[in-house]
Every structure is written in structure tokens, then in C-alpha cells.
């Protein structure tokens, strides 16, 4: 029987691109590479306007704090270093490179020269950090730091192949087209953490991927395929860990605190490429879809590719678009700038001709309780939203709003069109702001 968790919802899949092979788009005219693409410290550019750069060359390095370097994703000339606002309104430095279309690879790019059977923990941390690998969806975390935090604490490694958001098929296609990279990366991570066997978790709406990975790992002793029920948000780390191990992560704790570590399928593939080809994370697979994309498909493109060029590569739009989402429709961020770049965390670019206006209409709670049943974190979203709307943030805190993972399930099921997730997000921001001020001694 497929494994699952309590709560959650069923959303229309809209996986229009699941049977289409990944297409490569290697030649955007320019790339705009943000110096901050993960949780942690921003990078400082190590290049200046006018410099020639090669693919894979370091162009930004973290000088202090948590973080990993950023690399040129194309070869060409640096034509600008600019401040731009991201979708959260935060100003971030970008290095802009004009592509010379030569695909010149940096001479520093070299495969791992040691023996894979003798690989050490420190070597894995070092290679993964230098390759600039960070988690692959939403607010990403540098992978080397995740490996470090798991050392001597975990006995369960899970490869997260769940793709529970509508539309997105990037992981599914990766499993079908580069299974050896996902499995190979997992083996490197298993070795680093001293774990014998990993769990490859795949939802039951991907029977072809389940069959393929089962065949490739059968009798290996290092991997077991775990089949998950297709439900939203099955890809959330907490729900994934519960579905597979039955362990619940207490509020404020991390997966490593219950002996688990979770790596996304694409993170595993990036680890494999860093070791086998020496190639840092400079490309990723992005699902380009929505109700007005002419030829939806998953596209492998350089980090920094502007959405506009990605949309053009997919045949443009069939009618004028009104709304772009960076990521899935449940947890993604609305994006106002069509020239915003693909980052390491961009799993999808969704383009819609009409925006759901529900959030802009007057909304009322009719006390149906659906949001409570849908909430995977066992919160009372109806009350939290009410308190947040009234500015009663202390009550929001008492009702544990900080445990809200902003999955959007409550908003999705709400017949009263209450923008619960947005209200929760606003309350969390207020509470975090208050905590920061108190920490800094500001009254
Ligand atoms: S789902 Fe919406 S209408 Fe129903 S209780 Fe929750 S907030 Fe109220
Ligand atoms: S957004 Fe928050 S409150 Fe709503 S279902 Fe998800 S975790 Fe629960």
C-alpha cells in the first residue's frame, strides 16, 4: 500500500508535460545571475564589468557565514553588475553576462580524481560546497551545510522524488532520463554519511519511474523504492519523513533531530555531476507551463536565463498573459518581472492568461472546518487567519502560526475564499520582526 500522512488535499494534477522529454536551451542571449540563491549569506562578485568568463567559473564567493559560490552558467562577457529586486522585494546583486554562444568551459572544471569507494565525508562536503549545490525548490539551503548538520546524527537518507504541486514534472522527467545521476548522487551521499541503504520516495502517479528505479536498484542493497500516495503536500520534508518512517518532527526541530536527512532528486543528480564531470550547479530543469504557453515542456537551461527567453523557447504564449508564477501554483511566488532569472530554486515557470481573483474578493469564513482537516501541521488555520486579519499576532503565536509551512492547502480548500496562507505569512513576518527587534535590544 502507498505510504502517506495525515491531512493534506488532492489537487488537480495538470501534469501536461509528464510524457514530454526534457528539451535543452543552452543559448539565452544574456544571463542575470543573482548573488543570493539560497538561505544564508549573499556572495560577493569576484568579477567586474568587462571581464571574460567561462562556463563553470566562480563569479561570486561567500566571504563570511553560511553559503556557497556562484558560477557563470554560460561563457561570455560581464556586461553589468546590478541591484535588482527579487519576487519578495529584496534587493540582490546580479552579475549579468552576455553569452558569446561558444560554450567555453572553465579550465578549472575537473572530475573527482580519487576513488569513489574511498570517498570521505570531508571530500564530499568540499566538492558539494565548491559546486554551489543547494536544495532545489523554494527557499533552498546549501547542501554542504545540510550534510554537515546530519553527520553522526542520521540513519535514514530519503531521496525526495515527490512532486506534489500541480504542473511540475521536472523531477519525474529527471528520474526517467537521468536515473543513473540520481542514484549515483545518492550513493555518494550515503557513503559520506555512513548509511548503508537509502529510500527513494516516489509518488504512485509515476509508475514508469517507480518501475525503472526498481529495476535499476533491485537487489543492490543500497536503495529501496518507497511508493507514496499522491497527495498534496507529500513533498514537504516533514510529511515525507512521517510517511516513510512514522516519525514526527517536533515544532522547531529539524529532520536530523529524528535521525533523518532528505535530499531532492535533482540535488542528488547535481552531486553526481559535480563528482563525475567536475561541473558545478549551472543548469537546472524547469517546467514551463500554464494556461497560455504554446508548447509546454520541461527545459534544461542555464541558471540566470530570463523567463522571457524561456517562454519564447516554448513557443511563446497563445494569448496575452496576466500572471507568472515562479514555482508551483500552491507554494510558488507571483512574479511581476518577465525578465526575472531562473535560479537554483526555480522548479517551474507558470504563465497564466487569467489570474484567480479569489484573493481580491471580499471573503468570509463560514466555519466549515475544511481548512482544519486539510492542515498537515494540525493547526487551526481558520482561527489563525482571523487573528492575523485583526492584527492579534500574539494570539497567532499562541495558536502556533510559526509551525505553518505555508503549503497553501487550507487556502485551496476554503469555500469562503479566505486568503489564509497569506494571512499566516503576514503574521509570521510580524512575529519574526518582533523577535529580531527584541534580540537586538530594540524596544
Ligand atoms: S475552510 Fe475557510 S470557510 Fe471553512 S473554516 Fe476554514 S477559513 Fe472558514
Ligand atoms: S498553509 Fe499553514 S495553516 Fe494552511 S494548511 Fe498549510 S501548514 Fe496548515
pLDDT tens digit sequence for 297-323: 999 999 999 999 999 999 999 999 988
The number of angstroms, rounded, from the C-alpha of 299 to the middle of its chain's C-alpha atoms is 16
Which of 365, 379, 409, 423 for a ligand 1 pocket mutation test, highest count of atoms within 8 Å of Cβ? 365
Percent over 70 (pLDDT), the chain: 95
- As a whole number, mean pLDDT of residues 121-133 equals 96
Any atom of ligand 2 within 6 Å of the Cβ of 408: yes
Among protein residues, the one with the nearest Cα to ligand 1's atom 4 is: 368
- pLDDT at residue 137 tops 70: no
Q: Report the separation in Å between the CA atom of 362 and the middle of ligand 1, taken as the mean of its atom positions.
A: 14
pLDDT digits (tens, 9 = 90+) for 363-382: 788 888 899 989 989 899 99
265 φ/ψ angles, rounded to the nearest 5 degrees: -55, -40
359 DSSP assignment: G
Give the whole-angstrom CA distance, residue 198 versus residue 200. Answer: 6
Confidence band for 252, pLDDT divided at 50, 70 and 90 = confident
Percent over 90 (pLDDT), the chain: 71
Cβ proximity of 153 and 287 under 8 Å: no
Q: Within the chain, which residue ranges are assigned CATH 3.40.50.11540?
A: 116-276
Residue 19, C-alpha cell as written in the block:
510524457
Among protein residues, the one with the nearest Cα to ligand 2's atom 3 is: 381
- pLDDT at residue 136 tops 80: no
Among protein residues, the one with the nearest Cα to ligand 1's atom 8 is: 365
Question: Which residues face 94 on adjacent strands?
Answer: 34, 82
Lowest mean pLDDT among 171-175, 227-231, 321-325, 345-349: 321-325
116-276 homologous superfamily: NADH-ubiquinone oxidoreductase 51kDa subunit (3.40.50.11540)
Amino acid at each position: 500500500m502507498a505510504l502517506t500522512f495525515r491531512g493534506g488535499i488532492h489537487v488537480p494534477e495538470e501534469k501536461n508535460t509528464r510524457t514530454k522529454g526534457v528539451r535543452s536551451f543552452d543559448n539565452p542571449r544574456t544571463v542575470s545571475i543573482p548573488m543570493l540563491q539560497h538561505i544564508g549569506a549573499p556572495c560577493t562578485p569576484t568579477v567586474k564589468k568587462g571581464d571574460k568568463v567561462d562556463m563553470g567559473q566562480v563569479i561570486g564567493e561567500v566571504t563570511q557565514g553560511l553559503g556557497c559560490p556562484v558560477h557563470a552558467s554560460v561563457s561570455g562577457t560581464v556586461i553589468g553588475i546590478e541591484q535588482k529586486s527579487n519576487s519578495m522585494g529584496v534587493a540582490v546583486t546580479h552579475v549579468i553576462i552576455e553569452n558569446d554562444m561558444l560554450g567555453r568551459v572553465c579550465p578549472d572544471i575537473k572530475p573527482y580524481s580519487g576513488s569513489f569507494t574511498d570517498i570521505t565525508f570531508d571530500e564530499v562536503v568540499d566538492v558539494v560546497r565548491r559546486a554551489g549545490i543547494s536544495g532545489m525548490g523554494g527557499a533552498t539551503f546549501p547542501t554542504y551545510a545540510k550534510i554537515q548538520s546530519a553527520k553522526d546524527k542520521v540513519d535514514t537518507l530519503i531521496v525526495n522524488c515527490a512532486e506534489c504541486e500541480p504542473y511540475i514534472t521536472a523531477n519525474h522527467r529527471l528520474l526517467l532520463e537521468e536515473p543513473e545521476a540520481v542514484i549515483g548522487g545518492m550513493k555518494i551521499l550515503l557513503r559520506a554519511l555512513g548509511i548503508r541503504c537509502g529510500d527513494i520516495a516516489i509518488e504512485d502517479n509515476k509508475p514508469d519511474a517507480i518501475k525503472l528505479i526498481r529495476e535499476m536498484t533491485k537487489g543492490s542493497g543500497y536503495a529501496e523504492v518507497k511508493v507514496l500516495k499522491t497527495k498534496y503536500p507529500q513533498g514537504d520534508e516533514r510529511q515525507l519523513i512521517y510517511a516513510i518512517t512514522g516519525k514526527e518532527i517536533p515544532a522547531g526541530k529539524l529532520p536530523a533531530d529524528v535521525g533523518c536527512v532528505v535530499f531532492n532528486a535533482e540535488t542528488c543528480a547535481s552531486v553526481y555531476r559535480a563528482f563525475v564531470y567536475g561541473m558545478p550547479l549551472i543548469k537546472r530543469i524547469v517546467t514551463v507551463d500554464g494556461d497560455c504557453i504554446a508548447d509546454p515542456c520541461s527545459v534544461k537551461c542555464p541558471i540566470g536565463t530570463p523567463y522571457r527567453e524561456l517562454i519564447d523557447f516554448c513557443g511563446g504564449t497563445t494569448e496575452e498573459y496576466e500572471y507568472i508564477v515562479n514555482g508551483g501554483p500552491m507554494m510558488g511566488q507571483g512574479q511581476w518581472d518577465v525578465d526575472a532569472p531562473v535560479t537554483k530554486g526555480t522548479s517551474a515557470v507558470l504563465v497564466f492568461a487569467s489570474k484567480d481573483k479569489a484573493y481580491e474578493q471580499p471573503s468570509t469564513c463560514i466555519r466549515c472546518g475544511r481548512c482544519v482537516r486539510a492542515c498537515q501541521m494540525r493547526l487551526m488555520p481558520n482561527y489563525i487567519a482571523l487573528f492575523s486579519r485583526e492584527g492579534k499576532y500574539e494570539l497567532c503565536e499562541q495558536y502556533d502560526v510559526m509551525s505553518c509551512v505555508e503549503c497553501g492547502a487550507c487556502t485551496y480548500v476554503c469555500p469562503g475564499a479566505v486568503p489564509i496562507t497569506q494571512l499566516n505569512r503576514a503574521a509570521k513576518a510580524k512575529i519574526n520582526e518582533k523577535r529580531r527587534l527584541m534580540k537586538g535590544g530594540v524596544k
